[in-house]
Amino acid sequence: MDDLLQKLGEQLRFLRKEKGWSQDKLAELSGLHTNYIGQIERGEKNLTIETLYKVTTGLGISLEELFQSIDPKHRQTGLTKIVELLAQRPVEDQAMVLHLVQTILAWDNRKRK
């Protein structure tokens, strides 16, 4: 269980930092105390699902997205591998990859006409 709490905390910290937020900001958006956010990120707290929901809502993600990034159990396809790789990258990198894919697909559509 400790390993899961550690992974969970690390992923929440990553997502918070990716947004450029302090623990204070996430605490405010989640309706939790700053110290509690720190304990969660360090894997020190065994959270309730309600508390976890508050944190993910504060981050603007779903519980499913959080758990998929921590412990994906689905069959890996090329698309799921791409999604998992991109989920760990900053938003700017994700936007750049999206633009590249759109450009390639537009080029391919023009080529087929």
User: Amino acid letter at 1?
Assistant: M
Average pLDDT over residues 55-68: 91
CA angle 57, 59, 60 (to 5 degrees): 60
- More confidently predicted of 81 and 24: 24
d(CA 15, CA 56): 10
The rounded mean pLDDT for the chain is: 89
What's the pLDDT score for residue 64? 86
The pTM (predicted TM-score) of the whole model is: 0.63
- More confidently predicted of 74 and 53: 53
What's the pLDDT score for residue 111? 85
d(CA 88, CA 106): 26
